[in-house]
Structure 1
Amino acid sequence: MIGRDEILALIPHQGVMCLWDEVVEWDESCIRLRARNHRDPTHPLRSGDRLRAVHLCEYGAQAMAVHGGLRARRTDARARPGVLVSLRDVTLHVAHIDDLADALECDAEVLVEAGQSQQYGFRIHHAGNLLAEGRAAVMLQDAYP
């Protein structure tokens, strides 16, 4: 299992904007992560005292970043930064997530890779119930600014 400190070393999202607490398992094509911060009243994505399900898209995008960081680390490299350019076929099965008692879990899988882009599918669950699913695409940059 990979903990939060290692995740923070892999991605540009720092402090409370790093949404994942641990990597449960991963391989070259997919990753499973877990987070418990959705109940935190100081969560950075909260608005109007709620954390809405649409923010699960950011959890999905960060799952991509963590996976990319882990893949790059295998070859002693650093992952190329990415810019989220599209979300497709997103389905939200709940309205908000701040009242869910257990951890969130995400399964993300590489669907398409090209030289300058990647597309992943993601599914986010809570206690075995599907909360959100969709696809996210990023354009990869050459280097960090």
Structure 2
Amino acid sequence: MNPRADWMERIPHAGAMRLLDVVHRWSETHIHAMGERHPSHQHPLRSDAGLHAVHLAEYGAQAVAVHAALIAASRGDTRTRQGRLVSLRDVQLMAEYIDLAVAPLDVHAQCLVADERGAQYSFRVEQRAQLLAAGRVAIMHVDA
């Protein structure tokens, strides 16, 4: 497991918008992280109706950022290249609202392709092994 200190300063998300808390496993192409610290009523993306499932795409995108930070650190890079989310595709939502009190969220992301300009990942978000959301994200490096 990778505690947050290993990567949290290398991602652009700050404060309550850091949605991921721990990395369970990662490799050159895959990451499994977990979001568990936000009680439902304090989640930064929650509305009066609750946490809408569309926001699970942000969990997927943050898993990509954490993965990039871990890859950069493993290569001895002193900084992580900044990226911008430029596309969400094939997003499937299996619920309308998410009850964070039920269990933490498991977030998986897999690198499909990466080069100097950016990367494309697939992601899925589960709760108690039940799929809640899946899709693909494309990231473009800001210095590309």
Report the TM-score, using the length of structure 1 for normalisation.
Answer: 0.92
**Equivalenced residues, count:** 143
> Which deviates the most, 105-114 or 95-104?
95-104
Q: Percent identity?
A: 45
Q: Is the Cα–Cα contact under 8 Å of residues 118 and 139 in structure 2 kept in the other structure?
A: yes
Q: Is the Cα–Cα contact under 8 Å of residues 116 and 139 in structure 1 kept in the other structure?
A: yes
Report the TM-score, using the length of structure 2 for normalisation.
Answer: 0.93
* Distance verdict in 2 for CA 1:4–1:11, change over 3 Å: same
Q: Is the Cα–Cα contact under 8 Å of residues 82 and 140 in structure 1 kept in the other structure?
A: yes
Consecutive unaligned residues of structure 2, counting only runs of 5 or more, are: none
Tell me, in whole angstroms, the C-alpha distance in 2 between the residues paired with 1:34 and 1:90: 20
Amino acid at match of 2:33: L
Tell me, in whole angstroms, the C-alpha distance in 1 between the residues paired with 2:112 and 2:12: 23
CA shift digits 1:99-122 (9 cap, x unpaired)? 551110011000011221100000
Consecutive unaligned residues of structure 1, counting only runs of 5 or more, are: none
Amino acid at match of 1:94: A
Moved over 4 A (4+): none
1:126 has 2:127 as partner: yes
